[in-house]
Amino acid sequence: MLNPILSDNMFIVLGRFQPFHNGHAHLLEAALALGPTTIAIGSSEAEMSMNNPWDADERAQMIREYLDGRDAKIVQIPDINDPPNWVEHAKGFHGDGTLVTSDEETKNLYSESDFPVHWVDYSQRESLEGWRVRLTLKMLSTVYEQDGQKQVMLASIPEKVVNWLIDNDALHRLYSISQGLEHQG
């Protein structure tokens, strides 16, 4: 059973946002509709890799682009790789409130710690998992025709974030990062 939502509460959206995609946008819109929102960027200290191609500041920039002036607090949370103690650790960064999530594992982790959770049902969750979006972007990283890149990216990423990725030349690193990997064709 989910904990009740407290009135006059901060609503917390937690994610790695690698990159910020339409699933995150759906979740963030749900939180913003509920009230004041804190966006918690996880794995803030992660070294650059295919799973973490953008640093926490870049991810915050993507989110700010999407927000387009709307008010939300953004915090960065480093990993501790200790699930039983994660909620208490994260709470030190995002504070008290209600977690807004569509991720079952995260819901369970917070609920088991008696942290209020608001569940957001999202039917496209599987197709918008971060690893799928990153693999698509990796393929696009070798395409130099921006209109083609945009057309493909808009299926899974908000337009303002697509523009940020292109304007900041943030796709080509995916090709560079993957150079040491064996082709999975």
What number is the average pLDDT over the span 68-86?
96
Query: Could you report the per-residue pLDDT of 29-69, keeping only the tens digit for each?
Result: 999 999 999 999 999 999 999 899 999 999 999 999 999 99
- Domains, the chain, with CATH or none: 11-119 (3.40.50.620), 126-179 (no CATH)
* Digit-coded pLDDT (tens) for 109-155: 999 999 999 999 876 766 777 788 888 888 888 888 889 999 999 99
Global confidence as pTM: 0.88
Looking at residue 41, its pLDDT comes to 98
Instruction: Tell me the two tokens of residue 89.
Output: 């650790």
- Looking at residue 120, what DSSP letter applies? -
DSSP string, 46-79: PPSSSS--S-HHHHHHHHHHHHTT---EEEE---
Angstrom distance (rounded) from CA 91 to CA 2: 18
The one-letter amino acid at 154: L
